[in-house]
Amino acid sequence: MINKVQASLEVKRKKSALFSQELEPEVTDLFPEQEVHDTQVETEVLRDIKKKTVSGAISYFIRTIFLQGIGLASVAVLSWYFTPEDFGIYGLVIPIVGLLTFFSDVGLAASLIQKKSDPTKADYVTAFTIQQALSWVIVGIVLLVLATGVIQAKTGPAGVWILLSLALGFPLASLKTIPSVILERRLEFSKLVIPQIIEQLVFNGILIFLAIKGVGAMAYAYAIFMRSIVGALSMFMIQPWALSFGFSKVAFAEMFKFGVKFQINDFLARIKDQLFYLVLGLYLNLAEFGYINWGKNYSMYPYNLTVQNVMAITFPTFSRLQGNTQALKRAIEKSIFFITLAIFPILVGMSVFIWPFIQLIPKWQKWEPAVFSLVLFSLSIAWSAVSTPLTNTLNAIGQINKTLKLMMMWTILTWIVTPICVYMFGYNGVAIASFFISFTSIFSVIMVKKVVPLSFIDQVWRQTLASVAMAVVGGLGIQIWSQSFKHFLFGMLLTALTYFVTLLLFGKNKVLMELRSLRS
């Protein structure tokens, strides 16, 4: 009996072995097919991400060219009609609101965008409820600040109304948060630009009209409030969302885990910028602070045209690519290449031609004391154009601890170096300090290269060389460009040609390759 059982087991064992041998080739053949399928799916996903990202970048670029054109025209008109004190009032109030912005979000929106899985309804409702509550807390804080009379003593009634209009904009802005997050997660960037266009048209239209009417700095209050209203209405028309209030501990805990680090990083940035400029504005007289604010605002136009465009789409895009190192590497490199390709010549052009331009317009000669600051602020932006996409990358892939270290360094340097430079060089010391601190942005390159094998030098050396050649040609003829508008336009054309010719001589193949890769 035992022998029969053993024999039966042996037969079953052999059949099992035979079955395994027959099945093994089929199983072996199956996995490569599955791998091919998975690879095809991944390729399709990457292709879809690339398509939406590129189309979004184009939409943002077109939007920004349009809006920056309006913005420049607006500032040109304001520079004509406003005094340095008017710019100083607005520049003093903005940092106060910038500091309060920290308390309006606690990083929830960024957490929803960065989240790998799709946010739930509980996530959206919780984020919206918290933001609404915080926005009204900010309104209360502003009212308390105004009750002290400190702002009115420094700025007069105009500063009070500007600050109040900015505060009321917080509850209205929170209405746009969830629709914006939904669109960003879908990478539907072309829809996001529509409310921004409407906002800026309303803001600048009202501002210019009231400036011409002689309203002065008070024009900012009316323009800001109307911008907030039309922005909220237009966003809801484009991406409707059922307003709901509620709170989920689980949803909040998950969002807060990422959001708190993101918010600490934002808090340091605000201490570095808004709080410092607020203290600076209280220390300097309004005219000197107006020169700083004017120079810094103008220097930011190239940054808003290029870096802000890319930043708006790279955070959600890089978040989607955080599991694919090679795709992320190429996306970062393309971002740096195209940003520097565009912003470097603009910054050089502004630095070279701002002085001749002021000499040709008598009404603008009151801003000549701010030229030196504008030039140094502009040159500082060149480093920001590189570091900002890289710190954005670290945030998008969850490496926010590294960003915190960078922000701590920049905050400490700002509060130590800038006061020393102001003491030594007066109000121009702010721009001098900003220029020297900007070189520490190299640390952002080092940090990203440790996570992603980035080829950094290859993305920037051609644009840098062409910009240096452009600066040399423009600088040698700076006295000629200020003789007449004819000479001024000729100088702009000559320096632009210098940039493009130098770029073609040393980087033609690289430029064509990158452009073809976007089209493919």
Cα first-last separation, the chain: 74
pLDDT at 440: 93
Q: Please check whether residues 263 and 289 belong to one and the same domain.
A: no
Q: Please check whether residues 164 and 262 belong to one and the same domain.
A: yes
Q: For residue 283, give both structure tokens.
A: 């220390």
pLDDT at 1: 38
Instruction: Read off the pLDDT band of 215 (50, 70, 90).
Output: confident
Measured CA to CA, the distance from residue 273 to residue 95 in angstroms comes to 8
Q: Please check whether residues 267 and 307 belong to one and the same domain.
A: no
User: Domain of 252?
Assistant: 49-273
pLDDT digit string, tens, across residues 350-396: 999 999 999 998 878 888 898 999 999 999 998 888 888 888 788 77
pLDDT at 52: 59
Q: Kindly tell me if the per-residue pLDDT of 14 is higher than 60.
A: no
Measured CA to CA, the distance from residue 295 to residue 288 in angstroms comes to 11
pTM for this structure? Answer: 0.62
Higher pLDDT, 256 or 222: 222
Number of folded domains that form the chain: 2
Specify if 3 maps to a domain. no
Measured CA to CA, the distance from residue 117 to residue 63 in angstroms comes to 30
Instruction: Read off the pLDDT band of 189 (50, 70, 90).
Output: low
Sign of CA dihedral 389, 390, 395, 401: negative
Question: Mean pLDDT, to the nearest integer, of 136-149?
Answer: 86
Higher pLDDT, 12 or 59: 59
pLDDT at 186: 74
Instruction: Read off the pLDDT band of 472 (50, 70, 90).
Output: very high
Higher pLDDT, 1 or 359: 359
Q: Please check whether residues 159 and 180 belong to one and the same domain.
A: yes
pLDDT digit string, tens, across residues 399-455: 777 888 888 899 899 999 999 999 999 889 999 999 999 999 999 889 888 888 888
Q: Kindly tell me if the per-residue pLDDT of 468 is higher than 90.
A: yes
Sign of CA dihedral 476, 338, 268, 109: positive
Which of 273, 300, 320 finishes a domain?
A: 273
Task: State which H helix or E strand residue 192 sits in.
Answer: helix 189-212
Q: Please check whether residues 269 and 350 belong to one and the same domain.
A: no
Q: Please check whether residues 407 and 492 belong to one and the same domain.
A: yes
Q: What is the SS3 assignment for 321? A: coil
Q: Please check whether residues 265 and 403 belong to one and the same domain.
A: no
Q: Please check whether residues 360 and 499 belong to one and the same domain.
A: yes
Which of 243, 273, 303 finishes a domain?
A: 273
Q: Kindly tell me if the per-residue pLDDT of 498 is higher than 90.
A: yes
pLDDT at 262: 63
Which of 273, 299, 326 finishes a domain?
A: 273
